[in-house]
Amino acid sequence: MTLNIFLGYDGREPIAYHVASHSLLARATEPIAIHPLVQSALRADGLYTRDRNAMESTEFAFSRFLVPKLMGYRGLALFADSDILCLTDIADLFLEPLRDPGKAVYVAQHNYVPAQAVKMDGQTQTVYPRKNWSSVMLFDCARCTALTPTYVNQATGLALHRFQWLKDAEIGALPLEWNVLVGEMSQTDRPPKLLHYTNGGPWFRDYADCPYSAEWYREHGAMASPPLVGQHSRAAWMVNHTATVTT
């Protein structure tokens, strides 16, 4: 069965989306389908009609809540911000509902106040309860029928991000290692499975040496380099490539 993953997409930082996608694909042991949430495409389809709010730090701040609709309110689907890096098999996250079945959505339930007033690219850091819960969400889409396009387009941002469209008992908990807030939370006794560069990642100059930057650079290199680079010289790769083409 194919696992459906929706990643936020922001035209100001496409590299974050592509490296995040590579990190998911490189470690998955099950077939996965990655769907970029591109605001312009959702607007063209008439699904997303909200006016841009000055408090929105990304283009997918609210469109993420359309995922159940995009799935036809069927099955499981994962949403994640584009500024993530997956360090393990994402299929394991889809098994989490087995520990606590019957929830509408599963999130890492952080309890923190951001340490910085400004985050990536000079964006204002908005503070509210359940901050960052919505940055990684595993939806049981059949239980999220309240998220109609009309509701998503008209509800307040706080109502959406604080999950006021659900009863508290319908919100399941993911282990925190599935959404480790880089620079905002101390390391737990379990290694991170999914890093979230919530304040800004190494693709921004001011965050070039942020915690876990080495992991991001390594992933970027693996994505950008031909498979034989690092094992053979570039000249050898060109010879092999040319031979393949001309055979």
Q: pLDDT tens digits for 106-143? A: 999 988 665 554 545 545 446 657 889 999 999 999 99
CATH label, 3-246, candidates 3.30.1050, 2.60.40, 3.40.50, 3.90.550: 3.90.550
100 contacts: CB under 8 Å, gap ≥ 6: 106, 172, 173
Residue 202 CB coordination number (10 Å): 21
Residue corresponding to tokens 């959702």: 42
What is the pLDDT at residue 117?
45
pLDDT digit string, tens, across residues 32-45: 999 999 999 999 99
pTM of the model: 0.86
State the greatest distance between any 2 C-alpha atoms of the chain, in Å, as a whole number: 63
Q: Cβ contacts of residue 217 below 8 Å, gap of 6+?
A: 202
Provide the token pair at 185.
Answer: 């939370």
What is the chain's mean pLDDT, rounded?
Answer: 88
State how far the Cα of 176 lies from the Cα of 189, in Å rounded to an integer: 11
Spatial neighbors of 130 by CB under 8 A, at least 6 apart, are: 109, 161, 162, 163
DSSP-derived letter for residue 232 is B
pLDDT at residue 236 greater than cutoff 60 = no
Q: Which residues contact 220 (CB under 8 A, 6 or more apart)?
A: 15, 19
